[in-house]
Amino acid sequence: MDTAVFSIDSKHPDPQVIAHCAKLIQKGETVVFPTETVYGLGADAQNPSGVEKIYKAKGRPGDNPLIVHIADTDALTSLVEEMPETARKLMHAYWPGPLTIIMKKNALLPKAVTAGLETVGIRYPSHPVAQALINESSCAIAAPSANLSGRPSPTTADHVLQDMKGRVAAIILAEDTQVGLESTVLDVTKKPPVIYRPGAITLEMISEIIGDVVLDDAILRESDEKQPLSPGVKYKHYAPVAEMVVVKASSEKVTEKVKKSTRGYQNFGILTVDEHMKDYDDGFIISLGALAAPEEMAHNLYAALRRFDDAGVDIIFAEEIPISPDTLALINRLYRACGFQFL
């Protein structure tokens, strides 16, 4: 497939580019576009043929639901059956932004979008390009991350081109994404509401608005659900090509355990933090950033995993990150990227 590639300014999107790509969406084609979290692979959420092209381009399992993106809360009337008061409060507090809210789907929304579920995840992205494309398309856009299924999500133009050029009708490139991890996914059809996937909008931030919220058990362990209720909970996700393990130890002891674990390996990578860089002298070493800057570490994760692939390492030893409300999303992605392989 020939893929049209456009580079535009995030703050002032070229109207002609947006109009061209919106017409592709309306025709049932797929378009990659930037959001504040990661790049998304979009199609008209009401067009089953377009939705099927998303699954085909990614090689995505058919039972893995998609998130629907809107640029106006009025669009919800054609997407959801009911809007709980908890959802309204969260929309007021955190939309537009990196929060996906799961609600009961409207009968008008094709089940191809929700993988047969009676619920749908909705997000109102804050990125100007995403908003412009959705508005010009005059439809809600179903959009998972724009990567091959299982691979690290794309946060830069290079990542998108590596995975999606030749697989979609068009790609809109802009500056690197801001957050670098996918949105928080919250199911408000449950009582209390359940976070299936952590992100930049934390449990603490959500509970400040609506009270009791719980974390799904599968956030830090393998899921035993036959039908995933949210993206990012069943299959191995975000993974580099190389084998990857997370080395579990306290911050004071983790570097020594990593060094012992690498013995006998010739072509290995080490994923560490700024504070520990000086402790290593062998291997292909990448720092996520400073422990005191969890947002920076989260933003850098997927780019770091792709750098290991570019370097051609055989195995990656990733340091355990101390858990906190601000690192939960990062740890969730690390564990899924390594397939829950630990030392």
Q: Which domains does the chain have, with CATH numbers?
A: 4-219 (3.90.870.10), 243-337 (3.40.50.11030)
Q: Collect all residues with Cβ–Cβ distance below 8 Å to 176 and sequence separation of at least 6.
A: 155, 156, 157
pLDDT of residue 322: 96
**Closest by alpha carbon to 61, among 201, 187, 227, 173?**
227
What are 187's strand-pairing partners?
Answer: 102, 194
Strands 184-187 and 194-197: antiparallel
Is residue 252 over pLDDT 80?
A: yes
Confidence grade of residue 225 (pLDDT, cut at 50, 70, 90): low
pLDDT of residue 108: 87
Spatial separation of the C-alpha atoms in residues 216 and 7, rounded to whole Å = 38
Per-residue pLDDT tens digits for 289-314 = 999 999 999 999 999 999 999 999 99
Confidence grade of residue 235 (pLDDT, cut at 50, 70, 90): low
Distance of alpha carbon 251 from its chain centroid, rounded?
Answer: 27
| 244 sits in which H/E element | strand 243-247
Is residue 227 over pLDDT 80?
A: no
Report whether 109 contacts 95 (CB < 8 A). Answer: no
Confidence grade of residue 276 (pLDDT, cut at 50, 70, 90): very high
**Section 239-265 average pLDDT:** 96
The upper half-sphere exposure of residue 81, i.e. CA atoms within 13 Å in the direction of its Cβ, equals: 11
pLDDT of residue 337: 95
Spatial separation of the C-alpha atoms in residues 232 and 252, rounded to whole Å = 31
pLDDT of residue 63: 87
pTM listed for this prediction: 0.95
Other beta carbons less than 10 A from residue 193's beta carbon: 23
Mean per-residue pLDDT over the chain, rounded: 95
What are 215's strand-pairing partners?
Answer: 195
Is residue 46 over pLDDT 70?
A: yes
**Section 96-102 average pLDDT:** 98
pLDDT of residue 226: 59
What are 270's strand-pairing partners?
Answer: 285, 317
Token pair in block for residue 176: 């690197």
Per-residue pLDDT tens digits for 161-196 = 999 999 999 999 998 899 999 999 999 999 999 999
pLDDT of residue 62: 84
Other beta carbons less than 10 A from residue 46's beta carbon: 18
Per-residue pLDDT tens digits for 56-75 = 999 998 889 999 999 999 99
Is residue 228 over pLDDT 70?
A: no
**Closest by alpha carbon to 80, among 49, 135, 44, 123?**
123
Is residue 234 over pLDDT 60?
A: no
pLDDT of residue 118: 95
**Closest by alpha carbon to 28, among 46, 13, 44?**
44
**Section 198-218 average pLDDT:** 97
| 109 sits in which H/E element | none
Per-residue pLDDT tens digits for 117-159 = 999 999 999 999 999 999 999 999 999 999 999 999 999 999 9
pLDDT of residue 156: 96
